[in-house]
Chains A and B, each alone.
Chain A
Amino acid sequence: MADSSIPIGGSLDVTSHGRSTPTAIEWLHEWVVTVDHKKLGILYVVYAIFFLLVGGVEALLIRLQLAAPHNHFISPQTFNRLFTMHGTTMVFLVGMPFVFGFANYLVPLMVGARDMAFPRLNAFSFWMTAFGGLLLYYSFIGGSGLYGMGSAPDVGWWAYAPLTLRAFTPGHSTDYWALSLIVSGFGTVGAAVNIIATSLSMRCKGMTLLKMPLFVWLNLVVAGMVLVTITPLTAAQVMLVIDRYLGGHFFDTQAGGSAVVWMHFFWIFGHPEVYVLVLPAFAIANEIVPVFSRKAIFGYPAMVAASVGIAFISMTVWAHHMFTVGMTSFGNAFFTLSTMLVGIPTGIKIFNWLATMWGGKIRFATPMLFCTAFLIQFLVAGLTGIMLSAAPWNWQLHNSYFVIAHFHYVLVGAIVFCIFAGIYYWYPKVTGRLLNETLGKWHFWLFAIGFHVTFDFMHIPGLMGMPRSIYTYEPGRGWETWNLIVSIGGAIQGIATLIFAFNLFWSYFRGKRAGNDPWDAWTLEWSTSSPPPAYNFPVEPEVLSRRPLWDLKHPDDPDWRYE
């Protein structure tokens, strides 16, 4: 493909390589003290991949227990810890680090900057996130014995009050949950500040806001959302700690406190949070779909508008998680409407991606395979979301396996698929070698098959009345066969993920050399060497359109004539 010598500043790596290989301690030290956005991006992603495997093991244990009714593989206490930790891990130690890992690595490169606006804040943010996660997992260490002492949290990742108060959950497990997330929350906010400052103030010459890659736009929107959405969670967790140790009664219903207030705080965080997780998946798709369809993204201004629209509307939908708590009919109707409305800009994005592929010449390399599956799966996930938004139907489906199927369809079917796509796409830029394409295709097909076996059929027990968060279930309600099928799909996904992990490792040493631009792409990061030099660009780039490398490769038909 294209490893063209592009006459844009930064394509030559002029770093001196005269130094001898560093010792192990020097190498480790370099990674620990780094403030380089690329190294921090790699640290975030490696951290996320590690916890993806840990969270995956937790899920497999859950599925083993639920493969048959009245199973005795795991005790109820352990099961409750497993699903709490699985959810908390996947959202905060996998999802968020992937978001900030990708953003950290790519945003400065895509805007033609040397680094993030605040490199030391960047490093601080990573380490806060990392230590928060370690604090959460430290909770596992500790004896069994007096219930709750020194063991992992077991109150669900949503940690509803008053179950989390000391009257009902003594010991320190809930404290680990609250404190570890407060700590990593600081990291999240710091990373968001950096993304906003970098994309607003450090764009290269000629790159107006409407010439930024959509990847940068979506991460900017996500960063803005993070600033607004993390605070309610931190506030709620501080109030919880005050209730537990300082004599507060915010959520202490025995003393006049309110359980519903916890729900409002949590979901005002929780709903925008899932858009914080999914918008970066869209960001990845926005880069991969055009390049592999060989066409510019269809409707760039509408994509920007839709992203901003989603950000704002998503702040108004939170109580669709609370349709069953006894709000007024007016309240239920309002949140039904707002939730249906947020589906409109989201749907528009799907149409724009479809239109981008229309009339193109689609190359189905591994990144595009994952993105294509993402499109189908995200369509289904959005439609089951519309089903859940209808409050009376929600009264049946809430807290059932239908909800679990829906949100895993988004979290795995959309987000994880796009993360895999993004890793296959940018791994050559980061390491200088391509991931093995054969292993990639095995990974894709096995994972897609496993995903559908698990999450397609998981909707059915929900429709048949199976609630969530149960360590076992009654036979004779028609749930057994479906649960067994769901568990088998989980095992298939596990195998696919192992193939992926192996590919990451093997290709680092034996992968085909990538060159600057293995995919014939159009954004600035592909003009640097692979991996880029520490300073990214020796000379600040100057761009005339949204696809600077397209302009250089097609001087007779540049984008800036048509934008």
Chain B
Amino acid sequence: MAGNRDRRFCSSWIPRGVLLLLWAGWVRCFAADPGGGTSIFNPASTPAAATRDLAYFVLGITGAIFLVVGSLLAYVIFRFRQRSQDNIAEPPQVYGSNQVELAWTVIPVLIVVVLFLATARMIFAIQDAPKPQSALDITVVGHQFWWEFRYPKFGFVTANELHVPTSNPTDPTPTYLTLLSADVDHSFWVPRLSGKTDLIPNHPNSLWIDPGTPGVYLGQCAQFCGTQHAKMLLRVYVQSPADFEAWAHAQQQAAANSASVAEGRKVFETQACINCHTVKGTVATGRFGPDLTHLMSRDTLASGAALNTPENLRAWIKNPDDFKPGSLMPAMKLSDQQLDQLTAYLATLR
């Protein structure tokens, strides 16, 4: 066709602009998390990164299939639409074609073979990865609607906010989580660190992570477990080995015992609190609810339902349903004075 315009695709600005916009949109949505994001395309740990690589591969193949078949469909719709009302003769009837049908059977089979082999390789790489001696073991117990974290090597128990050390690729110290449940099915999902694995009662599971960069990584329960499934949030604090050791050492200590909050401690120990909660070094050894020994070392209350401030703490104790309607902690109908004393006591449990 005549024309001075250079018709090569490379010189056309519009497709380039569109591609640039799409790429920028992708990065903005998924890959550039300023911090605290939960995108599966912004991995911070090997299982999540491996999954992302597989995802790009699968996306590439399925995207190509979509472009090919979609373009054919678009072409058919435009090229073969009935244009004139007068031309009512039926088109030639074609009942089939052995060659064409064979081709479009064989090609999908080959695509499936390629996809399956790539995927299978990734399954074995992640699931059956050999566990190094230096791995840190943590037991996670799912409850309605909070997370219990047991550190057997250190001998303490904490709740809702998981602390793990960073792992160096040259000298890996991954964290292996053993996943148990005290009641119904739950699922541990921190997208930037790993795919999810379920916590199923009577069926121990395990997952591993090896984050390299310190920071806070967010997630939440991903298997419907009852009324407050939505607020069973997760915070994973990845710390440098030194910081992690310091944190663990602090968690190992028994609870602070200040005389100034003796009345509050008495309220705690004579109301029903000790039936559900543990405070190490006291008579409180309940295991139905979170361990409160170092409650104030956590940033949030009620597995992320509220920030951990004295006001929120008091309001939570007064009526948990204000924050998390349907949570299994009852309102204890305490008087204002009891609430003030109790909050003052709990505020000392760093």
Contact = CB atoms under 8 A, between A and B. Distances in A.
A360 interface: yes
Contact of A344 (B112, B124, B304): B112
Interface string A342-383: 011001101110110111111110000000100110011001
A361 B82 contact: yes
Nearest to B201: A253
A562 B95 contact: yes
A362 B198 contact: no
Given A163-B185, A337-B116, A395-B51, A76 B326 contact: yes
Interface residues of A, number: 97
B55 interface: yes
Interface in B180-214: 183-185, 187, 189, 191, 194-198, 200-206
A557 B93 CA distance: 10
A292 to B, nearest CB: 9
Chain B contact residues, majority secondary structure: mixed
Given A348-B104, A383-B66, A387-B62, A160 B202 contact: no
Contacts of A7: none
A464 B40 contact: yes
Given A326-B197, A326-B205, A357-B80, A392 B183 contact: no
Given A333-B123, A478-B39, A344 B196 contact: no
Interface string A543-563: 000000000001001010011
Contact of A299 (B47, B96, B220): B96
Contacts of B127: 328-329, 332
B223 A387 contact: no
Given A380-B66, A465-B39, A300 B95 contact: yes
A364 to B, nearest CB: 7
Nearest to A164: B184
Contacts of A472: 230-231
Given A355-B100, A357-B80, A379-B70, A326 B119 contact: no
B29 to A, nearest CB: 7
B14 to A, nearest CB: 22
B229 interface: yes
A385 B90 CA distance: 37
A323 to B, nearest CB: 9
A397 B222 CA distance: 10
Interface stretch (A255-263, A280-288, A432-440, A487-495): A255-263
Interface stretch (B30-38, B150-158, B336-344): B30-38
Interface in A272-329: 293-296, 298-302, 324-326, 328-329
A34 interface: no
B123 A295 contact: no
B91 interface: yes
A396 B51 contact: yes
B273 interface: no
A80 interface: yes
Contact of A470 (B112, B198, B229): B229
- Most interface-central of A156, A363, A391 (chain B CB within 10 A): A391
A474 B227 contact: no
Nearest to A75: B325
A9 interface: no
B123 A399 contact: no
Contact of B228 (A76, A350, A364, A465): A76
Interface of B: 29-30, 36-41, 47-48, 50-51, 54-55, 58-59, 62, 65-66, 69-70, 72-73, 76-77, 80-82, 87, 90-97, 100-101, 104-105, 108-109, 112, 115-116, 119-120, 122-124, 126-128, 144, 179, 183-185, 187, 189, 191, 194-198, 200-206, 218-231, 233, 304, 325-326
21 contacts: A76-B227, A293-B80, A294-B91, A326-B204, A326-B206, A333-B116, A333-B123, A336-B123, A351-B69, A355-B100, A358-B76, A390-B54, A392-B51, A395-B47, A396-B55, A465-B37, A469-B230, A474-B218, A477-B36, A477-B38, A478-B29
Interface of A: 75-77, 80, 154-156, 160, 162-163, 168, 253-254, 256-260, 293-296, 298-302, 324-326, 328-329, 332-333, 336-337, 340-341, 343-344, 347-348, 350-352, 354-355, 357-364, 372, 375-376, 379-380, 383-384, 386-387, 389-400, 460, 463-474, 476-478, 554, 557, 559, 562-563
Given A329-B127, A341-B112, A472-B230, 8 more contacts: A76-B227, A162-B183, A163-B224, A253-B202, A293-B80, A360-B80, A363-B82, A469-B230
6 A-B pairs with the lowest CB-CB distances in the bound complex, closest first:
A395-B195, A465-B38, A470-B230, A253-B201, A326-B205, A253-B202
